[in-house]
Structure 1
């Protein structure tokens, strides 16, 4: 993804290799999230298990990108655009690793959901997941193409995901209050919904990183947010014993 040719051809080759590795990792993270949603919708425990097993492959990509960036920093001492490209790649890789973690967590909870009768709110959670997956695909394309406008479009859509999550949260609470037998599956769906909302946050993070990489300055303005209270048990909120 270098913006200009360098005198040393191997330098461009290293930058291009880093770009390609990020693209492959992004594609895998997308596939993990998509498969997790399909597993939940179709009550497919085998697919859920494969999603959980695939998480280690994403971790391997992150380790590879870490190695590539360290080599570039140590051997090439990049500056200006190149330095932003390398540092942003490091942060994007970390973000994608978190996305895959959320997909694996959703798959893990799907295995528990499959032990109970189907419940209607699952489809609403999957619809929310589809919207977030669309954001993730769009922002990764924007990042790989250095497309600031597309990145900004994703950044502005975070509010929509928060609104969906808030509505779904209320729906699930009502559903659980109607019948105590719904509490266990409803609780797992709440965790999954929160994980999906967090993936939307991470897509927004990549949008901000794309802007910084392309412009050299941080994106100004308050990030659109609707949901600001972490859900208990969320990996980035208050911890509870699971």
Structure 2
């Protein structure tokens, strides 16, 4: 009985670390886009530096998950909980990488005046942050319905990305410097679109954890 209690306490600690990681990653998305919008190079560098802490949490979650599997020999339902935590941590780590990618774009632009005011990119960032919060709520609540609704929000991000891509491509002409900046903004939108995809991956993980069945939300 004591072993079982310790096991569930370890699962709770694993979830706590995962949620802390999620909050840090959400903050990184906000900071990266805010740094780009305001051309704040110091904030961009702080965002890049924050990735080290995310990597450390990823390693911590991996080690604890593998230890639980090796020492506790969990049942099928518990094994799904552990494997889902590992998968969510992987998606969070990749989202953090995309936040770093956006922060690096801020540094790359080196204080240039933006050719196009940032409207759709901050909106995409807000949506992806909301999706991330929703996906982690679905995880803590074991809520399959909440997880499934991420597909609709992902569609909204995809539409914003498609519209913005068309707008940016239309602005491209013979000015190499302008084209370079527009390409960087297009990359930023692409990274945010990938963030949305990773949050739907988290939703898929939640559905599998609860039901034992796999569902594709990125259709």
TM-score if structure 1 supplies the norm length? 0.85
- Aligned to 1:8, what secondary structure does the other structure show? helix
The answer (yes or no) to whether the contact 1:142–1:150 under 8 Å persists in 2 is: yes
Query: What is the CA RMSD across the aligned residues, in angstroms?
Result: 1.7
The answer (yes or no) to whether the contact 1:212–1:218 under 8 Å persists in 2 is: yes
The answer (yes or no) to whether the contact 1:29–1:58 under 8 Å persists in 2 is: yes
Q: 1:1-242 counterparts in 2 under 5 A? A: 8-177=4-173, 179-219=175-215, 223=217, 225=219
Counterpart CA distance in 1 for 2:133 and 2:203 is: 11
Gaps of 5+ in 1: 226-242
The answer (yes or no) to whether the contact 1:28–1:58 under 8 Å persists in 2 is: yes
Provide Cα deviations, 1:140-188, integer angstroms capped at 9, x if missing partner: 1111221111111112321111111111111111122375431111111
Gaps of 5+ in 2: none
TM-score if structure 2 supplies the norm length? 0.94
The answer (yes or no) to whether the contact 1:151–1:211 under 8 Å persists in 2 is: yes
Provide Cα deviations, 1:36-74, integer angstroms capped at 9, x if missing partner: 111112211110000001111100000000000011000
Structure 2 match to 1:238: none
CA shift at 1:6, angstroms?
A: 7.7
Provide Cα deviations, 1:207-228, integer angstroms capped at 9, x if missing partner: 1100010111112xx6454xxx
Counterpart CA distance in 1 for 2:52 and 2:218 is: 32
Structure with more of its chain in helix, by fraction: 2
